[in-house]
Chain A
Amino acid sequence: DAGVIQSPRHEVTEMGQEVTLRCKPISGHNSLFWYRQTMMRGLELLIYFNNNVPIDDSGMPEDRFSAKMPNASFSTLKIQPSEPRDSAVYFCASSLTENQPQHFGDGTRLSIL
């Protein structure tokens, strides 16, 4: 079975540019999570969806970040405009239902110059 698929794997862009990260969860999973991982702050939950509906977005740093889940098989995380402090590895994960084991993608390593 295909796992969680994220694209791109690496993104390098200049400050001020729009960045869009993509995620395809495991088919049949109802919950989807976006995380950011840095050395300083560890793994932080940004937002999670249940049945395509955003449940908790309290971890989204500021208005520059937005996430959508238009259908059960696709989600995006957008940063506009991007800043150097947004540089991190961004992970998408999905689970069958809430509080169940999560399956992670291999992440997008984002560098904002």
Chain B
Amino acid sequence: SQQGEEDPQALSIQEGENATMNCSYKTSINNLQWYRQNSGRGLVHLILIRSNEREKHSGRLRVTLDTSKKSSSLLITASRAADTASYFCATDAWVNYGGSQGNLIFGKGTKLSVKP
């Protein structure tokens, strides 16, 4: 089953507006990562936030993490047409006996469209 699920599935905004995408997950995590995928390309890592962090910034990106609600959000400020892509959250795979496996589990993504 999916560990992370993004919301909304699709988002369409005008250039200059802010875009907010959310991610919910089910089990304990060590870290949560956000990735971007442009059409026809591989995923590109954007930002990693650890379970003991609440907020992290990178350029126009702001990520928050609420471990009590098992959720994260990605905010892109002052969006540009070039931000048009799918955005995925990924969490480490937590196993029942405790501890994390070495792989990530990806959600199905939010498709962001930024209109010029």
Which residues on A are within 8 Å of B, measured CB to CB? Answer: 4, 31, 33, 42-43, 45, 48, 50, 55-56, 91, 93, 97-99, 101-107
Contact = CB atoms under 8 A, between A and B. Distances in A.
B45 interface: yes
A23 B2 CA distance: 26
Q: Mostly helix, strand, loop or mixed at chain A's interface?
A: strand
Contacts, number: 55
Given A4-B42, A103-B45, 19 more contacts: A31-B102, A33-B103, A42-B107, A42-B108, A43-B43, A43-B88, A48-B103, A55-B101, A55-B102, A91-B42, A98-B103, A99-B92, A99-B104, A101-B45, A104-B42, A104-B43, A106-B40, A106-B42, A107-B41
Interface string B33-44: 100000011111
B85 to A, nearest CB: 13
Contact of B102 (A4, A99, A104, A107): A99
Interface in B97-116: 100-109
Contacts of B43: 43, 91, 93, 102, 104
B12 interface: no
